[in-house]
Structures are given as structure tokens and as C-alpha cells.
Amino acid sequence: MKRTLSATALGIAAALALAACGGGSSNPLSTGGGSASGGGVPSGSAKAGTIRVGAANFPESQLIAEIYAAALNAKGIKATTGDPIGAREVYLKALQQGSIDLVPEYAYSLLTFYNPSASQTEPDAVRSALTKKLPSGDIVLDSAPAEDSNTVTVTKETAAKWKLKTIGDLAKHSKEVTFAAPAEFQSREQGLKGLKKKYNLVPKSFRALQGTAIVQALKNDQAQAANIFTTDPSIKADGFVILKDPKHVFGSDNVVPLIRKAKASTKVQTVINAVQAKLTTDKLAAMDKKVQVDHKDASSVAKQFISSNGLG
């Protein structure tokens, strides 16, 4: 009897503790990028004026974040970076909540996040549509010439075997395709949703992986098609074929800095826009290779870019 009583008491205590945790908000993930992202939020929150540069959980985003931070620091504006935060769905919440101030973004991907039915494909149209959709507290600075789009990519062998040129060609083989991509690709318009709508491509199965594991899966035939960025060094190194996308599931993804208005002083804007002007697709791809293939430290690659382009 005594044991039953103490068990009941413990149960009630646990229920109360749970209820207490849930009291504050309807969704813990939306209250703090900090809690959602673990250690991903850059330090320096206490000091006013410090720009905290966040990054998505793939190497190029972390590299561009390092470049922004290095450029700002070189001009005497204190900027910090942290560990990568996560997918767009997660780091945009961190920006809203104010635990980061600046994050490298991609124009079309960001536009389709706010407006899944966006039909603009040209860089200028994408940009102007994007500026209208942004939350009131955020602005985007200048677009860089550098473009890094999402793709549907296959190996040379698969392309030859199935005679593939476009994503539409791949759709005919849907039942034989295992698709490798980050987990969020499943529920994105620039992902399985859009591929189904526009090409009727519904892969037999989906393999949720991250970073180089996606490239490995494609290379070793654990996946027959994959979502790989156009600047990914593996495309050249492994001879992958990017399938053409005539119906524009993936749009013009120029690199744009997304920043909280409150932190976007004229000086900050000038510094970041100067970086943007120098950031071309070739330079970005070359730096991606240094980081992902040669395993150079992203912050030293970033500093090199700043000094060799007269930005520091």
C-alpha cells in the first residue's frame, strides 16, 4: 500500500513538472532559437553592438557566415559566429527571436519559404518578390553574383543508363529511385512537394541524410538521385550530372544576407555589401572545395578571401 502511495505521489509530481514546463508557450521550438538549436547560437549576446552571425547546417553557409564576420571585424565592428544552427525552419526562428542578427541566405529558397507558390524565377523578380514577403523586422542586403541552387543530381552512369536530361526524364523511373536529401527536403516546395507537383516525380523511397553523406550515398548507389548544391565540389570531382529543371522547381538562388533591421546600421550595410559585390559563383565554389575537399578551416579560408579581395 505504502509503495502504491509513493508511486502515485511521484506520478503527480512528474505531471506537475511537465505542466510547469508547458506553461509558458504553445511551442517550445518557437520561443527560442537557443533552445531549439542547442549550442548553435553565437556568443556575445550581452554586448550591445556585436553582430551575431548565424549559419545553416551545411558547410557553405558556415563559410559565408565566417566571411561576413571576418569582414565586419576587419572594419572594427565586433562580430561573432557560432556552431551551425540547423535547417532554415530552425534558424529563421532564431533570427526572429533575436538570438542571431545576420544569416547568409539564398534568395529563391528564402522566397519559397515565405511564399510556397512563388512563380518568379529571374534573379531580379525573385529579389523584389522576396523583399515584399520578409517579416517587418528583417531586411536583405545586396544580392551577390554568386549563385548556389538546389538541384536534382544523378551519377553519370544513371544518366547514361536511363538517358536522362531533365527531371521529367527521371520521373519515368520514379519507382526505381531512392532519393537522398536533407530531412527538410521532404516537406518543402523546393523539394519533394514541388517535384511531385511539377514533374510527377515521386521517388520509391527517401533517404534523409546530411552533407557529404548525401554525396556518398549517390556515389555508392544507395540513392539514385540526390539534392546537391550547384557549388558542391563533388559534382566536378565525381562527374555527377545535374538534371535540367525547365519547370523551375528550383529558382535563382543568389546569396543574400538576411539581417535584423535593428542591427543593420549604415556602416554594417556598407561592409556586407562590399563583400557581396566580390562574391562570385566561381570564388564561392573554389572556397567550398578548400573547406570540403581539402579540409581547410572555414575561418582561415574566409580571412584569406577578405584580404585577397581588398576587404580588410
Partner 1 sequence: MLTSVWRWLTDGGHWQGETGITHRLLEHLQYSGESLLIAALIALPIGALIGHTGKGKWIIAVANAFRAIPSLGLLFVVAMWFVSRLTGDSAYLVPTIIVLVILAIPPLLAGAYSGVSEVDPAARDAAYGMGMSGRQVLANVEVPCALPLIFSGVRSAALQIIATATIAAAISVGGLGRYLIDGLANSDYAQMAGGAILVTALALLVDGVLAVIQQLTVPGGLRTTSVSRRKQRAAAAAVESAHAA
Residues binding partner 1 (CB under 8 A): 18-19, 22, 25-30, 36, 86-87, 89-90, 93, 180, 182-184, 186-187, 205, 207-210, 213, 216-217, 219-222
In angstroms, give the least distance from the CB of 209 to partner 1. Answer: 5
Q: What residues contact residue 228 under an 8 Å CB cut-off, 6+ apart? A: 151, 153, 214, 215, 218, 234, 235, 240, 242
Nearer residue to partner 1 within complex by CB, 36 or 102: 36
Nearer residue to partner 1 within complex by CB, 194 or 301: 194
Nearer residue to partner 1 within complex by CB, 122 or 221: 221
- Contact 16/3 with Cβ under 8 angstroms? no
**Helices 59-74 and 298-308, axial angle in degrees (round to 10):** 50
What does the H/E/C string look like for 21-74? Answer: HHCCCCCHHHHCHHHHHHHHCCCCCCCCCCEEECCECCHHHHHHHHHHHHHHHH
Tell me 185's DSSP state: G
In angstroms, give the least distance from the CB of 46 to partner 1. Answer: 27
| CA–CA distance, 216 with 238 (Å, rounded to integer) | 10
Nearer residue to partner 1 within complex by CB, 68 or 206: 206
- C-alpha grid cell for residue 240? 555527377
Nearer residue to partner 1 within complex by CB, 186 or 300: 186
In angstroms, give the least distance from the CB of 34 to partner 1. Answer: 14
| DSSP letters spanning 230-250 | TT-HHHHHTT-EEPB-TT-SS
In angstroms, give the least distance from the CB of 124 to partner 1. Answer: 30
Within 116-204, residue ranges assigned H as helices are 123-133, 156-161, 167-171, 194-199
In angstroms, give the least distance from the CB of 97 to partner 1. Answer: 12
| CA–CA distance, 179 with 223 (Å, rounded to integer) | 6
In angstroms, give the least distance from the CB of 183 to partner 1. Answer: 4
In angstroms, give the least distance from the CB of 222 to partner 1. Answer: 5
**What SS3 class is residue 137?**
coil
- C-alpha grid cell for residue 291? 573547406
Nearer residue to partner 1 within complex by CB, 187 or 270: 187
Residue 229: closest CA among 103, 90, 64: 64
Nearer residue to partner 1 within complex by CB, 42 or 182: 182
In angstroms, give the least distance from the CB of 113 to partner 1. Answer: 11
Hey, CA dihedral for 300, 301, 307, 308, is it positive or negative?
A: positive
Nearer residue to partner 1 within complex by CB, 213 or 311: 213
